[in-house]
Each structure stands twice: as C-alpha cells, then as structure tokens.
C-alpha cells in the first residue's frame, strides 16, 4: 500500500523539479501537490494536483484540507509556506484525528517565527545573536537611531519585522554613494542623506522595524532536519544568481556552521524540516537572518546532490528515527537549476 503525502504551495518551475525528483527517489509513495493557484503542469509531474483554499480564510482552508486528506488518504502533509505551516500547527489535533501527520512543530514553537523580532529576541537571550540589532517603533526613533548608529557602524539594514524575501529592505550607509537596487528592486543601498529625503516615507505603515548592522556576502540557504531539539541533518547551500535561480553550490561540511545550527535547533526545540537563511558577520561567524518553518523553495538542489532529506523526513513520520544515517558532505557540489545535474 502506498504512503500518500501532500506538499502545499508547490507552484512554479521549482515545484516541478521537486516533484520529479521525489517521484524518482521515493518508493511506494504517492506525491500529491497543492496550491491556492491552479498549476497546470503539476498534473503531469506529480501523482495528482489539488487546488487548495487561500489561507486568508482560515476556517475554509482547514475544512477543505481535512476533506482533501480524507479523499486522498494522505498520511503526511508537508507545508510549503510559512502561513500554511503556522495555520496547520494550530489544527494539528484535528488533522491527527484523520490519521495524518503534519511536518511542522506545534504553535507554541512556531509563534517565535511569526516575526523577526520574536526570533532575534530569543536568539539574543540565548547568546546566539551577537551583533547590533534593535526594534524601532516610530519615525522619530528611526531618525534618531540612524544618526547615532552610523557614527560607529558604516552600514545598517532597515526592514519590517514581518518582511519576507528581502521586501522593503533598505541598506543605509554613511558613504556618499549612488543609489543601487537589488533583488528586483525590493532592496536598496542608499546614502543616509538620500534615505532620509526619498525613502523614509516607505516605512510609514510598516512599523515596527528591525534596525541591524549589515552582514557580509550573499545569504546561505540551510535545509535543516531535526527531532526534539536535536539536529539530524543539514545542508548548507550558496545561491548562484538571484535567490538561487541559476542553481546552488552545496557546501562541504563546515564544523562552525554545523555547531551554530545545532544550537539554534536546541534553543527552539525544533522538529521536522526548516529553512534557515544565514549570513556572516565581520569575523566570518554565521548569523541567522531568517528562520522559516517549512521546506525551502530550492530544496530540490539538495535532493539532486544525493542527500535524502525527504526519505529521512518520511522515516521521521513513521517513527523510524534509528534508520536515518549520518552524512557528511566532503566537497562542494554545483547543482544547476531545474535540471538536477551535478558539475564536479
């Protein structure tokens, strides 16, 4: 008898890539995919596509999800968006009554990830966030802090506590530079003078904000599999192109990174699968910038590198933790986008 799983928020080419790789690697498993927007191609790349309700209407979403679970004999639901993960965490008891597990923690854990302030605050209290950051509540406070902080820090980052994907991020510098845009104009690098004159107004309705020192390099994606606060497996990936659109470099085993991730997993007592975004401070120490309680949009790169994250995830759902093998990545691997090909 097949073990049926449902992966939500599966839209786009990356969803196709993930479905193909899972169908290839998971035996005796049917892969159902779902999204609130109809994805015509997913009918061909998975065992069945299901049009889900929008999470804005929470009751309708859960009611429909329970119906989908029953009709398709789903044994495991894997949320593909933060909103779905948080919503499902509140209804795990109802879903469990259908004989189905959800690959997400209880809401008492996920509530820390609803905004960056809650996440950073807990990390700071546990000694895992040793850079300058603070919460800003008003225009007056923001103007005052920018002037003060830029006396000792060359560049600062301003972003809403609930921003995702680099939206509404400003990097403000003391240097008299020409304004530059990144991330499809969702992020801007701007002088303090031009920020106060031309960009300050965009935050009018976005308080509270996070003000923090700028970190180095491009964000690293980390696929994290854990159970009861213990790290089981993690994969560190460096993006090639915007958000990894041209592929990923699977990074070789790095003890400093692994130890930091272990501490975060223990701090929040995490289980199941998470997507961490990490950057480096001036001393090349890893610093968490975002923690998402769901699979990464580019997790297929890890699967293409031969790392059995989903196979191990299914073992967790079946209470077969002892069957999961430790795996160290001995060399960097370049994974080209969408085609699951490895370049040595």
Residue 127 lies in a domain: no
pLDDT of residue 61: 97
Q: Are residues 255 and 286 in the same domain?
A: yes
pLDDT of residue 69: 98
In a shared domain, residues 232 and 207: no
Q: What is the CATH number of the domain that holds 13?
A: 3.40.50.20
What is the rounded average pLDDT of the residues 304-318?
91
**Which residue did the predictor score with more confidence, 90 or 247?**
90
For residues 220 and 295, membership in a common domain is answered with yes
Quick one: pLDDT band at residue 182, thresholds 50, 70, 90? confident
Give the Å distances, CA to CA, from 21 to 135, 212, 244, 299, 314. Answer: 42, 39, 18, 10, 15
Nearest in space to 201 (alpha carbons), one of 136, 153, 161, 143: 143
Q: What is the pLDDT of residue 339?
A: 44
Q: Check if the beta carbon of residue 274 is closer than 8 Å to that of residue 78.
A: no
Q: Is 102:92 a contact under the CB 8 Å cutoff?
A: yes
In this prediction, residue 54 carries a pLDDT of: 95
Q: Categorize the per-residue pLDDT at 332 as very low, low, confident or very high, splitting at 50, 70 and 90.
A: confident
Q: What mean pLDDT is predicted for residues 300-313?
A: 89
Residues making up the chain, counted from first to last: 344
Chain centre to alpha carbon of residue 56: 20
In terms of DSSP bridges, do strands 286-292 and 272-280 run parallel, antiparallel, or are they unpaired? Answer: antiparallel
Please report, for the domain that includes residue 141, its CATH number: 3.30.1490
Beta-carbon count within 10 A of 121 CB: 15
7 and 99 together in one domain: yes
Using N-to-C axis directions, what is the helix angle for 82-90 and 58-72, rounded to 10°? Answer: 80
- 126 within a domain of the structure (yes/no): no
How many domains in the chain? 3
Which candidate, 69, 66, 14, places its Cα nearest to that of 42?
14
If asked whether residues 290 and 309 sit together in one domain, one would say: yes
Confidence check: pLDDT of 29 > 80? yes
Give 199's DSSP letter.
I
* Residue predicted with more confidence, 209 or 162: 209
Tell me the C-alpha to C-alpha distance, in Å, between residue 311 and each of 13, 55, 227, 301, 317. Answer: 22, 28, 15, 15, 10
Cα-Cα-Cα-Cα torsion 185, 191, 193, 197, nearest 10 degrees, comes to: 0
| Interatomic CA distance for residues 298 and 237, integer angstroms | 9
- pLDDT of residue 342 exceeding 80, the answer is no
Whether residues 169 and 280 share a domain: the answer is no
Position 245 scores a pLDDT of 52
Give the largest Cα separation in the chain, rounded. 66
For residue 12, pLDDT over 80 is answered with no
Decide: 324 and 38 in contact? Cβ < 8 Å: no
Confidence of residue 340 (pLDDT cuts 50, 70, 90): very low
Quote the pLDDT of residue 133. Answer: 96
Relative to beta strand 3-7, strand 29-35 is parallel
The SS3 of residue 134 is strand
- Range 304-327 average pLDDT: 88
Q: What is the pLDDT of residue 241?
A: 63
341-343/48-51 β-pairing: unpaired
Q: What does each C-alpha distance from 296 to 78, 192, 275, 308 come to in angstroms?
A: 11, 34, 5, 15
By residue range, what is the domain housing residue 17? 3-104
pLDDT one-digit tens code per residue, 111-126 = 999 889 999 999 999 9
Examine the domain organization and report whether 232 and 142 are in the same domain. Answer: no
In the predicted model, what is the mean pLDDT of the chain?
89
Closest CA to 39 of 61, 65, 17, 72: 17
What global pTM score does this model have?
A: 0.91
């Amino acid at each position: 008898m097949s073990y049926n799983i449902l992966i939500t928020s599966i839209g786009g080419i990356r969803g196709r890539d993930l479905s193909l790789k899972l169908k290839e690697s998971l035996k005796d498993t049917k892969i159902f995919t779902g999204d609130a927007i109809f994805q015509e191609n997913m009918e061909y790349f998975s065992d069945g596509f299901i049009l889900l309700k929008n999470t804005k209407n929470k009751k309708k979403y859960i009611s429909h999800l329970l119906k989908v679970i029953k009709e398709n004999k789903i044994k495991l639901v894997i949320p593909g968006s933060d909103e779905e993960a948080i919503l499902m965490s509140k209804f795990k008891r109802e879903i469990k009554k259908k004989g189905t597990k959800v690959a997400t923690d209880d809401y008492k854990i996920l509530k820390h990830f609803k905004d960056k302030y809650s996440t950073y605050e807990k990390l700071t209290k546990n000694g895992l966030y040793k850079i300058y950051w603070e919460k800003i509540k008003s225009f007056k406070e923001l103007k005052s802090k920018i002037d003060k902080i830029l006396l000792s820090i060359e560049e600062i980052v301003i972003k809403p506590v609930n921003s995702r994907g680099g939206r509404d991020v400003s990097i403000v510098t003391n240097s008299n530079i020409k304004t530059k845009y990144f991330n499809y104009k969702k992020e801007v690098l701007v002088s303090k003078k031009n920020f106060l004159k031309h960009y300050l107004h965009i935050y009018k309705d976005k308080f509270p904000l996070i003000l923090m020192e700028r970190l180095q390099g491009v964000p690293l994606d980390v696929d994290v599999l854990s159970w009861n606060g213990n790290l089981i497996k993690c994969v560190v990936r460096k993006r090639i192109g915007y958000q990894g659109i041209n592929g990923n470099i699977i990074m070789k085993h790095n003890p400093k990174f692994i130890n930091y991730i272990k501490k975060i997993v223990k701090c929040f007592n995490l289980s199941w699968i998470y997507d961490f975004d990490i950057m480096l401070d001036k001393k090349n120490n890893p610093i968490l910038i975002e923690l998402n309680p769901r699979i990464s949009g580019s997790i297929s790169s890890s699967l293409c590198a031969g790392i059995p994250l989903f196979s191990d995830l299914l073992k967790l759902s079946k209470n077969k933790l002892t069957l999961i093998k430790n795996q160290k990545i001995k060399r960097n691997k370049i994974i080209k986008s969408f085609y699951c090909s490895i370049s040595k």
